[in-house]
Structure 1
Amino acid sequence: MSGDPSAVRVDAQELRDLAARALTRRGATTEHARIQADHLVAAELRGHPSHGLRRLDVLVARIERGLIDPASQPELQWTAAAALTVDGARGFGPVVAYQAIAALRGRLPETGVAVAALHRTHHLGILAPYMEQLAAVGLVGLMLSSTEGLVHPWGGVGALLGTNPIAIGVPASGGDLAVDMSTGAVSAGKILDYRAKGMTLPDGWAVDAAGHRTTDAAEAAEGAISPFGGAKGYALGLAFGAIVGALTGTALGPDVHGTLDADSEVTKGDVIIAIDPVAFAGSDTRTALGDYFALIRGSGADGSTVTVPGDRARAARDRSCAEGVALSADVWARLHELSEAVDPAVADRNEDPS
């Protein structure tokens, strides 16, 4: 839920339609625009505006500057029985990722596990929906992504590591496990969201350019995000970034570009792993996991509720679907502007986007 008192509540489908229109008017195919728009709104539904429609501005700018090809098709190549290399061809991240996941699922009956390494692919956005798609059909999923140098090393100064998120999906009766977390104390998008709203950061999220702790979002944007959990978060973030770099051959740390700016070619990488538990356990484990998660949920002290990762996001999504998405007034206004403007470069060949 948004803390912005000027927020408006908007039906999710209207948001999808407006975002898709903004993209088709700049040359995106109807299908690609829908996939990208759906993914942006998925973040809003779950209460993560930092990965939602506020990102549309950068996507549009990158299209207009020729950095995103909104109609490209990724190139998928199996380089080993369970190893898929994906050249995103500068396309939308969700478009490429969902095609990679479909290919991985198709390979699992043969191999039991399959791994995709993505390069030249734009920002994947919130990672939970990819994991939810796999878990919904009984599969375990893991995802790793590299990001721009945004996090300082533990004990060091300078934005030398990415926030390098990890996502995990595990199928279970009664509600799948869906982890989606950054190895920074907070995502870069949330820092930018706080700066745009003039909000104060919680202490411990970031440091300024000199390495001093700060609660000023503008200073944090010029400094670095802190690793979550101190040295342990630093170690995990470094390891995840190294894995992505090793499998995709993409840039590392401060040499990663292209998800936050509208000026640089995209140089980050992503890894998606899909696993069929039955291939290892020999039977469906969803009931056993569901019983275990139920035990966790019922373990609260004094009757309090304990959540399993994924529970809060599902509850927020259900609430947003019923009540409308809480959207900042400035993002709502900008969404209308983007959906009404037409890129002159594609105006002559653009179809009716409605």
Structure 2
Amino acid sequence: MEIAPAEIERVALAALRRAGVPEAPARQQVALLLEAELRGYPSHGLLRLPRIVERIANGVVDPESRGEAHWRGGALLAVDGRRGLGPVVALAALDTICERARETGLALAAIRDCDHLGMLAWYAEEVARRGQVLIALTISEALVHPFGGRRAMLGTNPVAIGVPAEPAPFVFDMATSIVAMGKIHDHAVRGEPIPAGWALDAAGNPTTDAAAAKQGALAPFGGAKGYGLALAFEVLVASLTACALGPEVRGTLDSEHPCNKGDVFIVVEPAAGMAQAITGFLDAVRASPPAESGRPVRVPGDRAAAARAAALGRAIAVAPAVWRRLLVLAGEVRDVAGDAAQDLARDEAGAGRAA
């Protein structure tokens, strides 16, 4: 079914307000979820809202917390999220380090004990539109096996980079796994096999069975190189935030545990006048000869920007079961025992890539 963005925003806000989230934090959380839907990343969108509500109800998220922060030196901000909503804590930290970076040239926020951040590209674009560079790192529960290994030991450990450019910033956002866990779940729901090399089953054997892969481990992208990046990001984030590591990470895929992963934001003042030069270079890349006629070269973020522009002028496709669950959470329809929508929302929300 297709729902207008304004209606999605209204219902999502009602669901969070009903769960006890104050108005301003609720709007920040909904803005992130809606932006993911607009850009064509539903695994980071509305599917996550039921889990957020469950986590609030279970006391593992404090809907009123903005976190507490103190400076460890002149440019490193240590943030205790106090179990706050991810976007709320993250945006408060970014406001602080963006201001400090104007003075020092660089500032870093090391965040622990806040909920799932969601789509990192959202933060990268926000900072880049302020005229600053952002490097963002986060870790997740162990979903990825080491290169040459058989057991999930690493998170998907995404990285995002935002750089000022015109008319829109350059934004790059990727996980270090070969594929999002959401794609594994999507294949399982449709009963389709996955390509060889994507995942291992619970016993550590290669599989093309999506249902078996859900219980196993994803492969790192690029073999040893992706594994090396995932491991480097995990230990770097942990060293700065004192968060949990590997199989000890909890709270990004469940509703029962406090979120004990870490997040790192690095904000840098760019060299004066470089936005124009970067814009010209990106346009040159886009104008370079394509490998296939009729398929022009794109730079990271172009597809999401096009999807967003198209979605703003029309309704957004939302799975009926997901929409019904949101209406239940907003108190607009009666809950039904055994409602399949709740199971779907839980399954899909856990499937989406933990940024």
| TM-score for the superposition, normalised by structure 1 | 0.90
Counterparts of 1:229 and 1:310, CA distance in 2: 21
1:333 and 2:292 are equivalent in the alignment: no
1:34 counterpart SS class: helix
1:19 and 2:8 are equivalent in the alignment: no
Counterparts of 1:340 and 1:215, CA distance in 2: 41
Identify if the C-alpha distance between structure 1 residues 189 and 93 changes in structure 2 by more than 3 Å, giving closer, same or farther: farther
The answer on whether the counterparts of 2:243 and 2:261 sit within 8 Å (CA) in structure 1 is yes
The one-letter code of the counterpart of 1:134 is: V
1:311 and 2:302 are equivalent in the alignment: yes
Identify if the C-alpha distance between structure 1 residues 31 and 174 changes in structure 2 by more than 3 Å, giving closer, same or farther: closer
Identify if the C-alpha distance between structure 1 residues 254 and 129 changes in structure 2 by more than 3 Å, giving closer, same or farther: same
Moved more, 29-38 or 232-241: 29-38
The answer on whether the counterparts of 1:22 and 1:341 sit within 8 Å (CA) in structure 2 is no
Q: Which blocks of at least 5 consecutive residues in structure 1 are unaligned?
A: 1-7, 343-354
Match of 2:339 in 1: none
Identify if the C-alpha distance between structure 1 residues 92 and 267 changes in structure 2 by more than 3 Å, giving closer, same or farther: same
Deviation of 1:199 after TM superposition, in Å, equals 5.2
Count of residues paired in the alignment: 331
Counterparts of 1:288 and 1:154, CA distance in 2: 38
The one-letter code of the counterpart of 1:24 is: R
Counterparts of 1:80 and 1:124, CA distance in 2: 25
1:62 and 2:55 are equivalent in the alignment: yes
Deviation of 1:198 after TM superposition, in Å, equals 4.8
Match of 2:212 in 1: 219
The answer on whether the counterparts of 1:62 and 1:262 sit within 8 Å (CA) in structure 2 is yes
The answer on whether the counterparts of 2:110 and 2:240 sit within 8 Å (CA) in structure 1 is yes
The answer on whether the counterparts of 2:137 and 2:263 sit within 8 Å (CA) in structure 1 is yes
Q: Which blocks of at least 5 consecutive residues in structure 2 are unaligned?
A: 334-355
2:72 counterpart SS class: strand
Match of 1:80 in 2: 73
Kindly provide the CA deviation profile for residues 118-168 of structure 1, in whole angstroms up to 9, marking residues without a partner as x: 000110001101000111121111000010011000110111000000000
Match of 1:297 in 2: 286
The answer on whether the counterparts of 2:200 and 2:219 sit within 8 Å (CA) in structure 1 is yes
How do 1:114-153 and structure 2 match up within 5 A?
114-153=107-146
The one-letter code of the counterpart of 1:104 is: I
Moved more, 258-267 or 204-213: 204-213
| TM-score for the superposition, normalised by structure 2 | 0.89
Counterparts of 1:197 and 1:276, CA distance in 2: 47
Counterparts of 2:7 and 2:112, CA distance in 1: 32
1:37 and 2:37 are equivalent in the alignment: no
The answer on whether the counterparts of 2:160 and 2:172 sit within 8 Å (CA) in structure 1 is yes
Deviation of 1:186 after TM superposition, in Å, equals 2.1
Match of 2:275 in 1: 286
